[in-house]
Chain A
């Protein structure tokens, strides 16, 4: 007999106030041509727990695209663009300098102003003010880092975003949501039974996932801000592998009534079930193409597991991967230009990326059991699960394989990462 008890965590709100990182992120490889940049400590920021400049510094360093210069020995510490003496920074070989200032304003709020200065051209590249509550200082620093990243690389940043991942500690399974730098981890689910396959809604307000809390896999949609959980698929057999349509209105899911998993779509609030694939093999891990027209999925219909695509209206499927005898877990960059997936490469499972324009495939990761690739919202990095010894951890690699990060949690077995959209 089922007696499902949902125990309210009276301590969960503590997660909101922790500002430690659950995941310790290390750069294990960087781009050959890094942009030299100096981030000067912000003025009047002593009221904050941490100088926003330190957070910006860490973000830029982690991207692997910047060389962060030490500002401690500099005679002048400008806090706005007019105070920047360009020659001093040019002597430090800085290409750009970031300066900023934080002041208190009405309503208990703060105003954070920052400027990005091009040292050689002696020109201000960005000048932005933010109004914020003090508790949003970290996220504001991430937004500033995003502006700097975009101005200097020409591509949008992804620092002001969040990630989800599953950690198993002892016999319990936790689905966490944390900032992209691993800070502010919050447990969305804490369950004695497995939780797998988290998938962010395109607007970042909801998470779909599979929970075994009723002794079988069932698909839930969890609203992050209210904590409301809704069962959207609980049919006979397995209900699994949810993935959102780009407009957020539908989910592709997998139902297994009998022997073989098949792909369906369902309304994001439940109902409207429609069968998409009809095969005699396993069809699973559906993802929508970013244009919303196709569903890519893995299937063993041809013998070994390979990636296929079919129209969102169903019908015939065509094969997408041809090299290797095991290609699974497709995931698109948001612009649809890159498709990442997992390939078994001579007994090692590695992250592969396919350029959808040229068809060229590159193996990016170096582990033996790499799984669950997920693109950053700006397409710069692919986050994935890896394994060393008995413990799972997370890693990230840039789309060109040049920058590598390792994300480690102090304890627990970490898996199933999913990188969310940019915060609004």
Chain B
């Protein structure tokens, strides 16, 4: 784990090294910070806290089978949406209900809802649209009794979209909310 002081000092080193190497004071940009997240999982902690939350790995692991059993509806993690829409289609209600039931039975378990959009249209607008989709699923879970503290929403907009899409069938795959449990 790298603490913030370390990050700052590394950046200072980066700046110092680049000044040394480049040795000039005009237009060149004297730093390219390489950013690499080495964490094993997507944390649900508030990301202003670099130390993050400790995830109970053993509790999550004990549930892996139930959540990943291909015969269980809980393994169906994608909820798909219509173009420019955040309405949960009726065919995905059983899916949402199953995850609500699971979370209500495992109140220590947290989940992340990752919103996604297809690549058409403005990147920032799609970031907002995908967030609204994630929140739509969250609200549906709330109505079914799941606590806010168990659900984190995050939007990836069109950043995970398939760049090879040229058909509606393909775009449909990108307009989704993914349900992700810890250590997945």
Residues of A within 8 A of B (CB): 1-10, 12-13, 15-16, 133, 135-136, 139, 162, 177, 184, 186-194, 196-197, 211-218, 224-229, 234, 236-238, 240-241, 254, 256, 258-261, 282, 284-285, 298, 304-305, 326, 328-329, 342, 344, 349, 369, 371-372, 390-392, 413, 415-416, 423
Contacts and interface: CB of A to CB of B under 8 A. Distances in A.
B106 to A, nearest CB: 20
A216 B127 CA distance: 11
B120 A187 contact: no
Contacts of A227: 11, 14-15, 18, 29-33
Contacts of A194: 156, 159
Contacts of B37: 2-5, 192-193, 213-215
A215 B121 contact: no
Interface string B127-167: 11101100110010000000000000111110100011000
Interface string B14-31: 110110011011111111
A58 to B, nearest CB: 19
A225 B31 CA distance: 8
Contact of A229 (B33, B38, B128, B132): B33
Interface of B: 1-2, 7, 10-11, 13-15, 17-18, 21-22, 24-43, 45-48, 50-55, 84, 86, 119-125, 127-129, 131-132, 135-136, 139, 153-157, 159, 163-164
A295 B156 CA distance: 25
Given A226-B31, A282-B128, A369 B123 contact: no
Contacts of A162: 27
A3 B39 contact: yes
Given A194-B156, A284-B124, A390-B164, A1 B131 contact: no
A151 to B, nearest CB: 25
A416 B119 CA distance: 13
A259 B2 CA distance: 33
B163 A13 contact: no
A184 B27 CA distance: 10
B125 A282 contact: yes
A298 B125 CA distance: 8
B54 A238 contact: no
Contacts of A240: 124, 127-128
Contacts of A188: 29, 31-32
Nearest to A329: B122
A272 B154 CA distance: 25
Contact of B36 (A5, A10, A184, A349): A5
Contacts of A298: 122, 125
Most buried by B among A192, A213, A225: A225
Contacts of A390: 163-164
Contacts of A259: 86, 131-132, 135-136, 139
A9 B125 contact: no
16 contacts: A1-B1, A4-B2, A6-B33, A8-B14, A8-B34, A189-B32, A189-B33, A190-B32, A197-B123, A217-B127, A261-B128, A328-B122, A328-B125, A329-B122, A344-B121, A415-B123
Contacts of B53: 1
B128 A256 contact: yes
Interface centre among A188, A226, A326 (most CB of B within 10 A): A226
Contacts of B1: 1, 3
B22 A16 contact: yes
B47 A2 contact: yes
Given A213-B35, A258-B135, A8 B10 contact: yes
Nearest to A196: B123
Contact of A217 (B28, B32, B155): B155
A222 to B, nearest CB: 8
Contacts of A10: 17
Contact of A282 (B29, B34, B132): B132
Contacts of B120: 349, 369
Contact of A226 (B21, B30, B119, B157): B30
A212 B131 CA distance: 14
A192 B34 CA distance: 9
A261 B53 CA distance: 26
A387 B104 CA distance: 45
Nearest to A2: B52
Contacts of A184: 28
Contacts of A234: 47-48
B29 A224 contact: yes
Contacts of B154: 215-216, 238
Nearest to A283: B128
Contacts of B11: 6, 227-229
Q: Which 10 A-B pairs have the closest CB atoms?
A: A227-B31, A191-B35, A261-B128, A12-B32, A13-B21, A259-B135, A214-B47, A187-B32, A194-B159, A328-B122
A196 B15 contact: no
Given A1-B1, A215-B42, A391-B163, A6 B127 contact: no
B174 to A, nearest CB: 13
B29 A225 contact: yes
B175 to A, nearest CB: 15
B43 A2 contact: yes
A4 B35 contact: yes
B125 A284 contact: yes
Contact of B155 (A225, A256, A392, A413): A256
